[in-house]
Amino acid sequence: MIVRDFHKLKDTSRAVSDAQWTSVRMLLADDGMGFSFHITTLAAGSEHTFHYKHHFESVYCISGHGAITDLASGETFEIRPGVMYALDQHDRHAIRADEDLVMACCFNPPVTGTEVHREDGSYAPALAD
Burial label, 27 (beta-carbon count in 10 A; 0-12, 13-18, 19+): buried
Q: Residue 115 domain-assigned?
A: no
pLDDT tens, 46-64? 999 998 888 899 999 999 9
Split into its structural domains, the chain has a count of 1
Q: Residue 122 domain-assigned?
A: no
Length of the chain as a residue count = 129
Q: Residue 49 domain-assigned?
A: yes
Q: Residue 103 domain-assigned?
A: yes
The CATH number covering residue 45 comes to 2.60.120.10
DSSP-based helix, strand, coil % in the chain, nearest 5: 5, 45, 50
Q: Residue 128 domain-assigned?
A: no
Collapsed DSSP state (helix, strand, coil) of residue 69 = strand
CB 114 within 8 A of CB 77: no
Q: Residue 66 domain-assigned?
A: yes
Distance, CA of 57 to CA of 84 (rounded, Å) = 11
CB 21 within 8 A of CB 95: no
Collapsed DSSP state (helix, strand, coil) of residue 72 = coil
CA 102, 62, 84, 27 dihedral sign is positive
pLDDT by 10s per residue, the chain, length 129: 999 999 999 999 999 988 899 999 999 999 999 999 999 999 999 999 998 888 899 999 999 999 999 999 999 999 999 999 999 999 999 999 999 999 999 999 998 876 666 566 556 666 544
Q: Residue 124 domain-assigned?
A: no
Q: Residue 113 domain-assigned?
A: no
Domain that includes residue 12, residue range:
6-108
